Amino acid sequence: MHEPLILRGGHLLDPVTGRDEVADIVVADGVIAERAPTGARILEIAGCLVVPGLIDLHVHLREPGGEENETIASGSRAAARGGFTTVVAMPNTKPSHDTAETVAFVKRRGEEAGLTRVLPSGAITLERKGKVLTDMAALKAAGAVAFTDDGSTVQDDAVMEAALREAARLGLPLMDHAQDNLVERQGGVMHEGAMSRKFGYPGIPSSAEERIIRRDIELAAKTGARLHIQHVTAAEGAAAIREARSRGLPVTGELTPHHLALCDEDIDPANADFKMNPPLRSRDDRTALIKACLDGTLSCFATDHAPHSADKKARGFLKGPFGLVGLETAIGLTWSELVEKGLLTPRDWLVRWTVEPARILGLPAPTLQAGAPADLAVLDITRPWTVDRAALVSRSKNTPFHGRVLRGRAVVTVCAGRLTWEDGARR
């Protein structure tokens, strides 16, 4: 077992139990303990916030097949630095998560890394081509906790309906990258609007998102499946989800830190780190996303951590790949944009990183209650820090937030009783 710990003097915040007080917390034998064993290591954390470990529903770990960008081990280390104790690995690897063997491989590699719980997703269709369903039951048996073709969209309505029916039968959520593939294939690289016209870049209209979201919602209503819309970006898409939830449908959506913190007016066209899919949309869209977060329409955060090596991003905005790293800046961005500005309470912010992602996956919510698995993070929410791409522990450094001053970061992370991060030192 791992070294027992006493975290002394921190402010405990636990939405599950309602605990909100300054107190010590003990970690022993992999769980939150009531008493400290002899010889426990003491960590003085006065002034810090102690919270259950964060959950990220949407992470690209690139292994197998993209190890030059990230590995499961390096991505797990970035997750630990970011305060995460559970991440869901996306299926757009080579090979994709379309067989039980690949799903089992990803789960095993996560266990070997031992820094965060790596939960594999299963692909909806073979090779994520949107044509033929995978053996979804076999993927679940191998460890898949949800189904998605993330990075691609199942365009065929009949295939999507069949997938939703099977996901409902298996009791797992189906998560969708909701964009019209036909629109994306036209070479769009950013939001279609005033800024794309200014730069002379081909755009991706927000209607590409809205059409698929509305299609998915009606199919979810027909099949009874739990539907989760990934990385919602546009006002129209958020409105569709709000309408679905008002009908009582089991439809959820996520907000990424980069779509919360940026819009297309922030894009530097010479910097491909601002290129992401779905793209940064208009200032009005960003305002609508914040509203949707505050009213619970977008009930959780997720990073869409998407590492790419420097040589790939150096191809420029038109030819470089979509995506940015997000695990190590997620706390700072969401805390700075919402809690520091008085829009969310610390508790409501935490619910969106813990209770809601767990509920969407059908898992117990992490808690600081005695006897629970010792998954927790200690957050410094008082001192500002500056994003430095050179300091990122992700194998890739593609962040548009280099040089940005944030408030809120993990200084200690514990997963299953193991100290996985401490004051920026790799463990």
Alpha-carbon distance of 60 to 34, in angstroms, equals: 37
Could you say which of 98, 216, 304, 375 is catalytic?
A: 304
Q: What are phi and psi of 274, to 5 degrees?
A: -85, 0
Task: Give the SS3 label for residue 410.
Answer: strand
Q: Spell out where 291-417 has E strands.
A: 300-301, 376-386, 405-415
Give me the phi and psi of 117, to 5 degrees please.
Answer: -75, 115
First to last CA, the chain: 15
Name the phi and psi angles at 152, rounded to 5: -140, 165
Going from the C-alpha of 266 to that of each of 83, 178, 281, 391, 400, the distances in angstroms are: 27, 24, 10, 23, 10
* Whether residue 304 lies in the annotated active site: yes
The H or E element that residue 195 is part of is helix 194-199
Beta-carbon contacts of residue 142 (< 8 Å; ≥ 6 apart): 100, 101, 103, 104, 107, 120, 122
The DSSP line for 269-313 is TT-GGG--SSPP--HHHHHHHHHHHHTTSS-EE---B----HHHH
Rounded to the nearest 5 percent, the helix, strand and coil shares of the chain are 35, 25, 45
Q: Is 36 helix (H, G, I), strand (E, B) or coil?
A: coil
How far is it, in rounded angstroms, from Cα 109 to Cα 389? 26
Active site residues: 304
